[in-house]
């Protein structure tokens, strides 16, 4: 018969090593020094709104229904002190309205932001420039419509005067 004693002895030794070796390596691994800390970019929830957070907010506001935008705007207006992130949210909500007063309020809200990350500054400036251009366009359109109405009144007055002069005079 084959002698199994050396095989069993080798198997038992291997099992004994693994039973002691695995916990020992676990303890030694806990004593190892951690790798040097790599500075992480702050996540979206931060004190200064970054460009990613601002772009995400613009995209989110663009998908909202008018009723939901109105509700969020009312909630923001009810708050006493607004953080820069909330100011940007308010500006984005107001920017979606199509009247001059809302656009001016949006511009004012962007102007009140103080703690803007340098990487987000170009986005804020571009949004301000866009708002100023939209306000100017709205004002020019209103002025153009006003002048068009006055022109129509002058034409109507001229036509009425021509008809009055064309009437035959009775003796």
Structural domain boundaries of the chain?
Answer: 51-149
Q: Is the pLDDT of residue 35 over 60?
A: no
- At 103-141, the pLDDT tens digits run 999 999 988 888 888 888 888 999 999 999 999 999 999
More confident residue, 16 or 89: 89
pLDDT digits (tens, 9 = 90+) for 70-96: 999 999 988 888 888 899 999 999 998
Please list, in sequence order, all residues whose beta carbon lies within 8 angstroms of the beta carbon of residue 115, skipping any fewer than 6 positions away: 47, 48, 49, 84
- For all residues of the chain together, what is the average pLDDT? 79
Q: What is the mean pLDDT of residues 1-17?
A: 58
The mean pLDDT value for 31-45 works out to 48
Task: Name the residue with higher pLDDT: 52 or 142.
Answer: 142
Evaluate if residue 57 carries a pLDDT over 80.
Answer: yes
Overall pTM > 0.85? no
């Amino acid at each position: 018969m084959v002698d199994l004693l050396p095989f069993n002895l080798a198997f038992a030794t291997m099992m004994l090593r693994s039973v002691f070796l695995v916990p020992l390596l676990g303890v030694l691994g806990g004593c190892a020094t951690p790798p040097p800390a790599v500075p992480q970019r702050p996540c979206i929830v931060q004190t200064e709104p970054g460009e990613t957070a601002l772009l995400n907010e613009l995209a989110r506001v663009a998908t909202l229904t008018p009723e939901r935008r109105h509700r969020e705007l009312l909630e923001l207006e009810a708050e006493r002190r607004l953080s820069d992130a909330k100011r940007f949210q308010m500006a984005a909500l107001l920017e979606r309205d199509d009247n001059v007063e809302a656009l001016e309020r949006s511009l004012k809200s962007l102007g009140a932001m103080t703690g803007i990350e340098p990487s987000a500054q170009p986005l804020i400036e571009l949004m301000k420039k866009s708002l100023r251009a939209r306000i100017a366009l709205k004002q020019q359109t209103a002025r153009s419509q006003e002048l068009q109405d006055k022109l129509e009144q002058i034409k109507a007055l001229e036509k009425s005067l021509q008809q009055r002069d064309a009437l035959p005079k009775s003796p």
